[in-house]
Structure 1
């Protein structure tokens, strides 16, 4: 029996960001808050499907699963300016405020990892710890992603299937269900370098990357810069590194337990 369908508290909610964009999120469980931020063209459902939700709920964590702007049930602006790091960070603060959470640990994959990093850079007082998989705060040229999404999601799906041939039908459905103009707007501007913010920030960091991910060296460099920890996943690429919940879950749980997240949740 799924823990989500048992007596554990579970609600769907919607916050409103500073610029009026609605941000949908799922609030499950009780305990130390951990926010989960998905990757490009995915939604909060990906955390359920991969098995993270079930595993973290067993550790008595309160999970906040966000549909990042432009995705899922959240608002989907078509203006590239709506996808700046500052605005995306403000989305996270809006969700935390709406959920009554003062500080939380943030865990993100790919785009979600970059959003987690932006939130820590702009609002360090709201972030207990950072876990980022396949993400870093250095400059990144998004031209290849823009090219893959130039006309529709089929070329993007073909790219994803090269990395994960066994991608689920549900994941394919979520990808095809996106608003193309919104996703294109989110990729219209290359990612700037904001790594300097982490040199003395002092937030505990766990950086994760598959060794076959082109971002692996940058993720390792980020961990060193932030005086954090680095988990390389041997033989995994950008997609399969997210799916390796059996390896990642226990490491994240041990990391959060060690850095201490007690009394950083509701009202504290």
Structure 2
């Protein structure tokens, strides 16, 4: 199967001394930030037909923002193990860099806890 979506340009948001890699795609008026689980790699998402199909469908309605958490994928490694507050701040940095004021959050696996923390910290 050949992807109908090519990998989107990877951009980098600066957060607490590291660069957090993200991609933005879709064609909607709403925004959806996908908070990854344990590990992710933006390059690999577009190499797997099932992932491409899912991303194509997901991007039909909202603008989708995918990112690699610090220490994974294309994002910088940083020093030591990042805490939840640092990871929460990374979401805000990605949203700011992407020009997004508000968004729905979709947390995958352990990303669900991080998405909940972000939502509780940014209720508006």
Structures share a fold, TM > 0.5?
A: yes
State whether residues 33 and 106 of structure 2, in contact with CA within 8 Å, keep that contact through their aligned partners in structure 1.
yes
Paired residue for 1:24? 21
CA distance in structure 1 between the partners assigned to 2:113 and 2:45 by the alignment: 17
Shift of 1:73: 0.7
| Structure 2 residue 89 is the aligned partner of structure 1 residue 90 | yes
TM-score by length of 1: 0.40
Whether the aligned pair in 2 keeps the contact of 1:88 and 1:118 (CA below 8 Å) is no
Contact 2:33 2:104 in 1 (8 A): yes
Distance in 1, Cα, partners of 2:111 & 2:44? 12
1:63 and 1:85 map into 2 onto residues whose CA distance is: 22
Deviations 1:90-127 (A, max 9, x none): 101101110101101111212222221121122222xx
5+ long unaligned stretches in structure 2: none
Aligned length: 117
Question: Normalization by structure 2: what TM-score?
Answer: 0.81
Does 2:74 match 1:73? Answer: yes
User: 1:119 is matched with which residue?
Assistant: 118
Structure number with higher helix proportion: 1
Match of 1:53 in 2: 55
> What does residue 206 of structure 1 align with?
none
**SS of the counterpart of 2:107?**
strand
CA offset digits 1:46-101 (Å, max 9, x no partner) = 655434211112x2321111001110010112423xx2221111101101110101
Distance 1:119 1:47, change over 3 A: farther
**Larger RCO (alpha carbons 8 Å, 6+ apart):** 2
Task: Please give the alpha-carbon distance, in whole angstroms, between the structure 1 residues aligned to 2:89 and 2:10.
Answer: 20
How many angstroms apart in 2 are the aligned matches of 1:111 and 1:15?
22
What is the Cα-based RMSD across aligned positions, in Å? 2.0
Change beyond 3 A, Cα 1:75–1:122:
same
1:117 and 1:110 map into 2 onto residues whose CA distance is: 12
Larger radius of gyration: 1
- 1:30-59 deviations in whole A, cap 9, x for unaligned? 2121111222133345655434211112x2
Distance in 2, matches of 1:46 and 1:124, equals: 32
Alpha-carbon contact 1:11-1:28 (below 8 Å) kept:
no
Partner of 1:15 in structure 2?
13
